[in-house]
């Protein structure tokens, strides 16, 4: 075999190896992105991290504040002292002012137990008041953000998996 044939074979092998490696990295990239998809709004345990600029506190003797929206239009949650529940409505609309699709979210018939707790009552009242202000939401990965009508972020929640 002469030198030109050997060079052609080596170049061909390099080309095939490069092609196979490129396919493999594309597949790995696809698999990595697949795991970074958005959490679903419904049937997800959404832990409340922040309301407006207030970071939600968790004490050792209390459960964390959360909300779960069910497929049937009902929701339940915990707001530091008491459980709460009710119904919700989701509606998707194009918002010309912000040039994007907004997923509107409204909570209705919110009811809560009325147990008082000295340490967490102020935080609970803040959480329940925030629910009346929610106009739309956005999900990015495992993060759920609530916005008011002025498009101001009023809450940050994170998906928790058990």
The domain total for the chain is 2
Tens digit of each residue's pLDDT (9 = 90 or more) over 46-61? 999 999 989 998 766 6
CA separation (Å) from 101 to 43, 56, 86, 98? 22, 29, 26, 9
Please indicate, yes or no, whether residues 23 and 102 belong to a single structural domain of this protein. no
Say how far apart CA 122 and CA 79 lie, in whole Å: 10
Are 64 and 47 contacting, i.e. CB atoms less than 8 angstroms apart? Answer: yes
Separation of alpha carbons 58 and 49, rounded Å: 10
Structural domain that includes position 72: 45-160
Do the strands 66-69 and 54-55 form a parallel or antiparallel pair, or are they unpaired?
unpaired
| Model pLDDT, residue 22 | 57
Residues 32 and 49 in one domain: no
Question: According to the model, what pLDDT value does residue 30 have?
Answer: 40
Taking a C-beta distance cutoff of 8 angstroms, is the pair 127, 65 a contact?
yes
Q: Which is more confidently placed, 141 or 61?
A: 141
Q: Is the pLDDT of residue 27 over 60?
A: no
- Per residue in 85-139, pLDDT tens? 999 999 988 877 767 778 999 999 999 988 878 888 889 999 999 999 999 999 9
d(CA 104, CA 89): 8
Q: What is the CATH number of the domain that holds 87?
A: 2.40.128.270
């Amino acid at each position: 075999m002469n030198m030109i044939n050997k060079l052609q074979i080596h170049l061909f092998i390099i080309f095939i190896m490069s092609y196979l490696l490129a396919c493999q990295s594309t597949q790995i990239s696809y698999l990595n992105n697949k795991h970074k998809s958005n959490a679903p709004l419904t049937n997800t345990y959404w832990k409340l991290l922040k309301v407006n600029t207030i970071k939600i506190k968790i004490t050792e003797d209390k459960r964390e504040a959360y909300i779960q929206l069910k497929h049937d239009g009902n929701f339940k949650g915990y707001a530091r002292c008491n459980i709460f529940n009710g119904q919700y409505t989701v509606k998707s609309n194009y918002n010309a002012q912000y040039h994007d699709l907004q997923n509107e979210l409204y909570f209705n018939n919110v009811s809560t137990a009325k147990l008082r707790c000295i340490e967490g009552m102020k935080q609970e009242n803040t959480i329940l008041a925030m629910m009346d202000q929610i106009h739309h939401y956005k999900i990015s990965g495992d993060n759920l953000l609530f916005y008011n009508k002025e498009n101001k972020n009023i809450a940050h929640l994170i998906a928790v998996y058990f």
